[in-house]
A and B are shown apart, each in its own frame.
Chain A
Amino acid sequence: MRITQSMMKDQITNNIDSILERISTLQNQSSSGNKFTLPYQDPTDAVLTVNYQSSLNQITTNTSALQQVQGTLKGYDNMIGQITSSVQQINALVVQAANGTNTPADRQAIADQVEQLRNSIAQDGNTNVSGTYVFAGATNSQPVSPLTSGSATTYFYTSTSATGANLTLNLGNAEIDTNVTLQQLFGYKGQLSNSLISYSTGGSMLNEGLLDKIIQDLQNNDVSNLSGPDLKDLQSYENSLAVVTTQVGSQEQAVQNLITSNQNLNTYVTQLMSTAQGTDMVKVLSDLSLQETVYQAALQTSASSLLPTLANFLSGSGA
């Protein structure tokens, strides 16, 4: 085969170019930590990376949504705790008032205390967290309103399908309940009433709540009512509130489980993504040092092979 100087020059240039290209790819991989910078370098892993990125984004968003719900549920938990302790105080007061030794004045004083507790319970129903009334169901306006007749003020809430709406959040395949309504919070099944606080169903009629009845009985000195149905209904209410507490607790548990599983999923997908996208540093670095050696060898041999021709050895007129 005929080999000419220009052929050798072309061959050497091509070879050195392709070594440099490999070195540049490897350096890019080692400095970015990624197997590829553009999809054509690894289409399969590029598609996987895009999919994993969007999964990670969904997992992160879902986790943040779950944490918000968790915060709200903790709030409900606290609130129910407060109401439970207020109701227990009322229970103690009613037991005290049912004792026949009390004078009407004593009962009036107890009635005032119960009224205070009722007001604070009613106010709890208006809890607002960053612009949202947490007990308002699907609506977002103050659910408990005061009603003044004469010198007496009582509180009532409106019970409709909107205020009683159970809100749910779908996260992937999981559907979680995110709210507690006033109907759940105050409602119970009793003899005297079916709610702790008075409520309206939209019309002008007000359904009297248990606490309002107790206050009336205290004011009317109705000892038989106080010691009988009032206490019984308070007990029924406490039982029903305990059910709500358990529900909120189990919701919290469910949300916590989802958060944990999302975190595990996050770790898992992050691992998958680093497998798809990340480069094998050991391999890249050893390849790089190999290519650098080849490059230096190529330069050295080219420098010596391009020089001499027959012209250098002719002893003619010039040489």
Chain B
Amino acid sequence: MGMDLFATLNTAMLGMYTQQAAISVVSNNVANANTPGYTRESPVIVSTPPISMNTLTQTGEPVSFGTGSEVTGIERIRNSFLDLQYRQSNASMNFWNEVNTQFQYIQQLFNMPASSGSEGLSDYYNNFWSAAQQLATNPSNVANQEGLVQSAQALIGNVQSIYSTLQQTQSNYTSQIQTNVASINSILEQISNLNVEINESSNGGTAPNALLDKRDLLLDNLSNLTDYTVTNMSGNQIGINIGGTNVLSGQTYTPLTVQAVNGKPNASFVSADNSPVTFSQGQMGAVFNLRDKIIPQYETQLNSFALDLASKVNTVLEQSYDQNGNLGQPLFNITTTAGQPTSLYSITGSYPPSGTALDPTQPIDKINKLTNLTPFTLNINGATINVNPSVDTLNSIVSKINDTNVGVSASLSPRGNLTLSATGSMNFDLMRTTSEGTTNPINISDYNAGFLSDLGFSTTDGTVNLNDYLPMGSDYDYSLNVSSKDPLMNISVNQQLVSNPSLLASDFSPVFSNGSAVGTVGPTGPQGSGGIQQIVALDNSNDPQSFGAYFSTLVSDLGIQGQNANSMYTNETSLVNQISQDRQEVSSVSINDELSNMILYQNAYTASARVITAVNSMLQTLINMVQ
């Protein structure tokens, strides 16, 4: 018998319905061509189930007749793998974008090399050095004395201004963390709400394309702020995990909170439900990295420079004689605040005393007090240094200690007193005091060889008693205790020298008779410039510990890290652009594409309509036959 005409009429009608539905998808795509986050849709057109029927000619074998087409759904054209790639690279790009921007700011802050017409940190130091050299040329000239004090003030002022700007930047980051956490919470809340709606629609059987698009856009935005992983759950819902902590699971989310640390305004961290959340990418990753790693690194370098300069210049001046023949005053006041924690920055041997000077270029067994020494070993914080008293000089011992690079640096005063200081890697604290207040003093020992005790260090069995050098200790006079927090902010230029620069001591000329390693030193007169020349010589370019070397290191750190941040940012940007293009290739609306589809659908619609006309005419024919 076969398909009857009415069934064919129905098939054609389904065709028109299908094409109509398809045109509506085209229409929606074109309308959303410029909607952010919109994923182009495509109608899922399937043929309706065929009907098996016997035909007149083949009664024994039924034939399958098609019954038309229908739209079973509208699917989003999207590649979830590209989404994943996009979000990962986007988080990374945002990380480097933030780091790169901030690095350019930090570089401008240091202003080295200075842009024309301005002065950077190294220029301030150069001015200080020039003032010292000028004073050395004519030490009793008041203008020269004034010049040195003024340039010291300008230098310390500049170091402190850079340092406090860095601190300001850190507290800006802390408030940026607050803002970003609020943004993340808002995104999580929106996603959890969407999860509810998506779940409901999915259960109803319809694909909630618009809601899925919204959620994908929110996930894209979340990748600006942080890295995260997504897990798929039942009913098209998702869960989100940031840095190992689950913050969203379907319909429930755990809001992130910023936890402040008592007494440390810039140590706040983020937690969710009492477990800490770590961010490694995105803006949040960058902000934490800048606040907790990069900026502290430059703060340490500045502290290190300021403490080193202030303590060395002070030592020279305090052992030199002023215009009146008195031992000099320090140029810098390095203060601590009562009640605030202090760090033991350096200790100094008390030998030689005032009036005696050692020749640091002679083997140490030429020094009367040390003639009995046999070859011995120094232990500085675990590093061993072998000393042969008939070969090694004070100078060579100092370089040997500095070469070990174990967090203790050595220097000699003009008279030849040995000073051991804690470097930045020890937080400028020989006691290694932790934030809880427990100490772990650095071991400095000569295994009872007598060297350290002969040089006037307080020792027991050859090991230096660092406790004696603390503020309440018996050898406090031979130590420098600095503020544990921001030591350089507690350095100022001695007001007595500001008001009376002529008290600046410049005279230091020891007398060594007949090649003796121990000489005498006393005031020679106001034109003596031996002391100030030692300050000039602190910047000996051959010495890797010199102040000039600080600036080389600083600029090269800034430059190389900055260059890295810049090229990472550029690379990540082009990667994100590339993935974004790939994603758009799949998901974005092409007008040409849509319109060609439209023509197809339109033609099919017209054709189906034509079939109805034909069937109609066939029916007419049939009816006419009956008449």
Known contacts A40-B558, A40-B563; is A314 also within 8 Å of B595 by CB?
Answer: yes
Contact A54–B584 (Cβ < 8 Å): no
Contact A2–B585 (Cβ < 8 Å): yes
B107 CB contact (under 8 Å) in A40, A49, A179: A40
A209 to B166, CA, bound (A): 69
A49 to B169, CA, bound (A): 27
Known contacts A40-B565, A50-B112, A311-B595; is A167 also within 8 Å of B527 by CB?
Answer: yes
A159 to B529, CA, bound (A): 20
List of A residues within 8 angstroms of B596 by Cβ: 310
A227-280 residues at the B interface, CB under 8 angstroms: 277
List of B residues within 8 angstroms of A309 by Cβ: 591-592, 595
A1 to B116, CA, bound (A): 51
A57 to B566, CA, bound (A): 31
Task: Check A64 for interface membership: any CB of B closer than 8 A.
Answer: yes
Contact A165–B509 (Cβ < 8 Å): yes
User: Separation in Å of the B600 CB from the closest CB of chain A?
Assistant: 12
Contact A43–B556 (Cβ < 8 Å): yes
Task: Check A140 for interface membership: any CB of B closer than 8 A.
Answer: yes
Task: Check B524 for interface membership: any CB of A closer than 8 A.
Answer: yes
A61 to B129, CA, bound (A): 9
B133 CB contact (under 8 Å) in A1, A2, A40, A62: A62
A162 to B524, CA, bound (A): 5
List of A residues within 8 angstroms of B436 by Cβ: none
A61 to B529, CA, bound (A): 16
A57 to B561, CA, bound (A): 27
Closest to B563 in A: A40
List of A residues within 8 angstroms of B529 by Cβ: 167, 169
Contact B112–A6 (Cβ < 8 Å): no
Known contacts A4-B588, A40-B104, A132-B141; is A138 also within 8 Å of B133 by CB?
Answer: no
List of A residues within 8 angstroms of B140 by Cβ: 131-132, 140
Closest to B133 in A: A61
List of B residues within 8 angstroms of A5 by Cβ: 33, 588-591
B129 CB contact (under 8 Å) in A3, A58, A170: A58
A4 CB contact (under 8 Å) in B114, B566, B593: B593
A310 to B600, CA, bound (A): 14
A131 to B129, CA, bound (A): 23
Known contacts A46-B113, A310-B595; is A6 also within 8 Å of B584 by CB?
Answer: yes
Contact B528–A50 (Cβ < 8 Å): no
Contact B559–A40 (Cβ < 8 Å): yes
| B 552-572 binary contact with A (CB < 8 Å = 1; else 0) | 100110111111011000000
Contact A10–B526 (Cβ < 8 Å): no
Task: Check B533 for interface membership: any CB of A closer than 8 A.
Answer: yes
Known contacts A7-B584, A39-B555, A314-B595; is A169 also within 8 Å of B141 by CB?
Answer: no
A68 to B56, CA, bound (A): 127
| A 34-50 binary contact with B (CB < 8 Å = 1; else 0) | 00011111111011011
List of B residues within 8 angstroms of A131 by Cβ: 140-142
Task: Check B577 for interface membership: any CB of A closer than 8 A.
Answer: yes
Classify the interface of chain A: helix, strand, loop or mixed.
helix
Listed residue (B33, B130, B565) with the most chain A CB atoms within 10 angstroms of its CB: B130
List of B residues within 8 angstroms of A58 by Cβ: 126, 129-130, 133, 539
Closest to B125 in A: A54
Contact A43–B559 (Cβ < 8 Å): yes
Task: Check B519 for interface membership: any CB of A closer than 8 A.
Answer: no
Contact B555–A46 (Cβ < 8 Å): yes
Known contacts A40-B107, A61-B129; is A4 also within 8 Å of B584 by CB?
Answer: yes
Contact A162–B525 (Cβ < 8 Å): yes
| B 356-399 binary contact with A (CB < 8 Å = 1; else 0) | 00000000000000000000000000000000000000000000
Known contacts A7-B584, A54-B551, A61-B133; is A137 also within 8 Å of B103 by CB?
Answer: no
List of B residues within 8 angstroms of A161 by Cβ: 524
Contact A169–B533 (Cβ < 8 Å): yes
Contact B584–A139 (Cβ < 8 Å): no
Listed residue (A6, A11, A60, A161) with the most chain B CB atoms within 10 angstroms of its CB: A6
User: Separation in Å of the A264 CB from the closest CB of chain B?
Assistant: 18
Contact A50–B133 (Cβ < 8 Å): no
| B 578-600 binary contact with A (CB < 8 Å = 1; else 0) | 00110011101111110110010
List of B residues within 8 angstroms of A277 by Cβ: 113
Contact B562–A43 (Cβ < 8 Å): yes
Known contacts A38-B104, A39-B107, A61-B134; is A132 also within 8 Å of B527 by CB?
Answer: yes
User: Separation in Å of the A34 CB from the closest CB of chain B?
Assistant: 8
A43 to B557, CA, bound (A): 8
Given contacts A11-B581, A40-B566, A132-B141, 16 further A-B contacts (CB under 8 A): A4-B588, A4-B589, A4-B593, A6-B33, A10-B584, A47-B552, A50-B551, A50-B555, A57-B126, A68-B137, A69-B137, A137-B525, A138-B525, A165-B525, A169-B529, A310-B596
What are some 16 contacts across the A-B interface (CB < 8 A)? Answer: A4-B584, A5-B589, A5-B590, A10-B581, A37-B115, A39-B562, A46-B112, A53-B122, A57-B127, A58-B129, A58-B539, A131-B141, A161-B524, A162-B524, A165-B525, A165-B527
Residues in chain B within 8 A of chain A (CB atoms): 33-34, 103-104, 107-108, 112-116, 122-123, 125-127, 129-130, 133-134, 136-138, 140-142, 323, 507, 509, 524-529, 533, 536-537, 539, 541, 548, 551-552, 555-556, 558-563, 565-566, 577, 580-581, 584-586, 588-593, 595-596, 599
The 7 A-B pairs at the shortest CB distance, nearest first, are namely: A43-B559, A40-B562, A138-B525, A39-B559, A139-B525, A4-B590, A138-B524
